Amino acid sequence: MNTWLLILGMALITFLIRYSLFALPDLRFAPVVRQGLHFVPTAVLTAIVVPGMLIPDGQHWALTMQNAYLLAGLATIAIAALTRHLLATIGGGLLVFFVLRGWLGQLPL
C-alpha cells in the first residue's frame, strides 16, 4: 500500500467528519439536539481533563502526592472557580505545576 494514498485517505476521512454538519447550512436542529449541543464543551473538555489529571501517562492511575498533574490540576480548578478569569487560571495553574514539578524533582534539568 502506497503511504501517500494512505495519508490522502486519512485526510479525506478526517475532513469529511469535521465538515459533516458545516455542509448543511440550512439544517435547523431539533430543540433537544440544540440543548444537547450546549453541553458539548463541558462534557468533552471534562472528559479530556480529568483522565489527564488522574492518569497522566494514559496507562496507570496516579493517585499519589507525587502526581503534579493531579495536585496542580486541583489548584487550577480552585483558581478558575475563584477568579473566573481564563488567563489568570492558565498562568496560575502553570506556575503551580512547574513549581511542584521542580520541587518534586520531576523536571529534566
Partner 1 sequence: MSRSQHFLYGSRDSIPMIVGILPFGLIYGALASLAGLSLWQALGMSLLVYAGSAQFIAISLLTLGSGAVVILLTTFIVNLRHVLYSAALQPYVGGLPQRWRLPLAFGLTDETFAVVQRRYLARGMAEHGQWYHAGVALALYLSWVCSSLVGALFGQSVPNLAGWGLDFAMLATFIGIVVPVLRGSPQIAAALVAAAVALLCYAWPYKLGLMAAALSGIAVGVALERRALSVVVEEGAQ
Q: Are 60 and 67 in contact (CB under 8 A)?
A: no
Residues 32, 64, 65, 105: which binds partner 1 (CB under 8 A)? 32
Residues 30, 41, 64, 105: which binds partner 1 (CB under 8 A)? 41
Binding mask 53-92 for partner 1 (x = CB under 8 A): xxx--x---------xx--xx--xx--xx--xxxx-xx--
Distance (Å, whole) CA 62 – CA 100: 15
* Least Å from the CB of residue 42 to partner 1: 5
Non-local (6+) Cβ contacts of 64 within 8 A are 70
If binding means CB under 8 A, how many residues of this protein chain bind partner 1?
A: 71
Encode burial over 41-78: b for 16+ CB neighbours within 10 A, e otherwise.
eeeeeeeeeeeebebbeeeeeeeeeebbbbbbbebbee
Residue nearer to partner 1 on the CB measure, 3 or 64: 3
Residue nearer to partner 1 on the CB measure, 46 or 103: 46
Residues 66, 99, 103, 107: which binds partner 1 (CB under 8 A)? 107
Does 104 bind partner 1 (CB under 8 A)? Our answer is no
Residue in the structure block whose three cell numbers are 513549581: 99
